[in-house]
Amino acid sequence: MPATAGFRAARRGTAAKAPSGAHLTGMAPLFYKNPSHPRCLRAWPRFQRNAPLLDDPWRFRFTLLVAAAMLLLLVAGGLVTSTGSGLAVPDWPLSFGRLLPPMVGGVLFEHGHRLIAGAVGLLTLILAVVTERREPRRAVRRLARAALGAEVLQGLLGGLTVLLRLPPVVSAAHACLAQACFAMVVALLVVTARSWIASTPADPRAGRSPFGPLAVAAGAVYLQLALGAILRHTGAGLAIPDFPLAFGRLVPPFDSFDVAAHFAHRVFAVVVLALVGYAALRAGRDRSRGDVAVPARMAATLTLLQLFLGGAAVLSRLAVVPTTAHVVNAALILAALVIAALRSRRAPLPAGVALPVAAARGSAA
C-alpha cells in the first residue's frame, strides 16, 4: 500500500483493512488531540513503527522554503517602512497602472515587496493544498488553512494600507499579521519534521514541562511585536531620542501618547528579556532535551541582541539597517520560541533512533 494511499485511507477512515498497519494513521488526530487516551498508550508502539506513512520529506522541505520566503518578505516589508517607501507606489493592486513599473528609488522597495508577497502567497497556497491532500492529522490541516487565510488577509491589509494612505491601525495590523503568518509556517515546519513524527507525545507525569514558560514567553514577544508596530506606524520611534535613559532620566514625563508608548515598549522589553531568559533556563534543565534547549537559548541570545538593535535604532535616528534588523530579529525570536515550545510537547527520542523511511514504505507497498 503506497504512502499516499495510506494518507487517503486514513482520511476516509478505511485504513483499518491495510495489512501493513497503516490503519494506525487513522488514529493520528487522536494522538495529537489526546495523547494520554488509553487507545493511544496501547497503540503507540505500533504507530511509531508505521510513522513513515506520515513522513513526507519533500513537503517538509517545501515548508522550509515557504518559511524562508516569509522571512525574506519580512525583510522587504521592514525596508519599505524604514525607507519611508510605503506610498512610493500610490495605487493597488497595480503599480502606476502597470504590472512592472520602473524599479527606481522607493518604487524598488515597495513594488519589490509586492512581488515577494505575491510569490509567498502562491507558495502558501501550494503548501495548503498539498497539506490538505496528504496530511492525515486534522490539526495540521487546519493550521495550513489558517496560514493560507492569514496570508490572504495579509495581502488585503497591505492593499488597504496603500489605498487609505498608511493609516496607523491598518499598517500596524499588517505588520502584526505578517509575524503571525511566519510563526504559523514555522509551526508547520516543526510538526512535519521527521523527528516529530518519530517521537511520542510527552508524558504529563514525567516532571515539569518547560512548555508553560516557553508559551508565555512567546506570547510576550508577540505582544512586544505589536507595541513595536504601533511605534513604527505612528511615528513614535524617536519620541524618546536618547538611550538607555529617557530624556536623561529613568522615567520620562508622559506629556504625549508617543512618549508613553515608546517608554512602554522599552519597559516591556525588559519584561520580555526576563521571561525568555527564565524559559531558556527551564528548557535547559533536562540535559536530554537539547532539541528544546537549543532554540530556547537561541531565543534568549537573540533577545539580548534585540535590546542592542533597539538602542542602535534610536541612537542612529532610525537608520535603515538597524531598524530593519530590529524587526527581522524579533521574528526570529518568536520562531525560536515556537519551535522550543512545540518540541517540549514531545518525548525525547532515544539515542541512535532513525526512521527507516525507505524500508517502511517498501513494506507498505
Domain that holds residue 232: 205-348
Residue 156: is its pLDDT beyond 80?
Answer: yes
Please write down the long-range contacts of 41-46, taking CB distance under 8 Å and 24 or more positions apart. 44/200, 46/21
Residues 68 and 185 both lie in one domain: yes
Q: What is the pLDDT averaged over residues 248-274?
A: 95
Contact 277, 337 (CB under 8 A): no
Residue 26: is its pLDDT beyond 80?
Answer: no
Alpha helices in 83-135 (DSSP H): 106-134
More confident of the two residues 97 and 355: 97
- At 40 the pLDDT is 62
What the block records as the C-alpha cell of 190 is: 516543526
Residues 135 and 62 both lie in one domain: yes
CA 75-331-172 angle, to 5 degrees, is 75
Q: How far apart are the first and last CA of the chain?
A: 4
- At 275 the pLDDT is 98
More confident of the two residues 33 and 2: 33
pLDDT tens digits along 64-83: 999 999 999 999 999 999 99
Q: Indicate the range of 24-33, 134-143, 191-200 predicted with least confidence.
A: 24-33
Domain count, the chain: 2
Residue 31: is its pLDDT beyond 90?
Answer: no
pLDDT tens digits along 271-302: 999 999 999 999 998 887 889 999 999 999 99
- At 4 the pLDDT is 45
Residues 305 and 170 both lie in one domain: no
Work out the mean pLDDT of the chain and round it to a whole number. 85
**pLDDT-derived band at 201, boundaries 50, 70, 90:** confident
Residues 289 and 260 both lie in one domain: yes
- At 198 the pLDDT is 77
Residues 227 and 319 both lie in one domain: yes
Residues 125 and 265 both lie in one domain: no
pLDDT tens digits along 316-364: 999 999 999 999 999 999 999 999 999 999 877 655 555 544 333 433 3
Residues 81 and 191 both lie in one domain: yes
Alpha carbon distance 343, 52 (integer Å): 19
Q: Indicate the range of 34-48, 86-100, 125-139, 332-346 predicted with least confidence.
A: 34-48
- At 200 the pLDDT is 75
Cis peptide before 93 (omega within 30 of 0): yes
Residue 111: is its pLDDT beyond 50?
Answer: yes
Residues 236 and 295 both lie in one domain: yes
Residues 228 and 138 both lie in one domain: no
Q: Tally helices (H) and strands (E) across the chain.
A: 13, 0
Residues 50 and 114 both lie in one domain: yes
Q: What is the pLDDT averaged over residues 163-177?
A: 95
Portion of the chain with pLDDT greater than 90, in percent: 69
Residues 337 and 237 both lie in one domain: yes
- At 49 the pLDDT is 53
- At 155 the pLDDT is 94
Whole-number CA gyration radius for the chain: 23
What the block records as the C-alpha cell of 321 is: 539597517
- At 225 the pLDDT is 96
- At 108 the pLDDT is 95
pLDDT tens digits along 212-251: 999 999 999 999 999 999 999 999 999 999 999 999 999 9
- At 5 the pLDDT is 47
Residues 107 and 168 both lie in one domain: yes
Alpha carbon distance 103, 335 (integer Å): 32
Residue 203: is its pLDDT beyond 90?
Answer: no
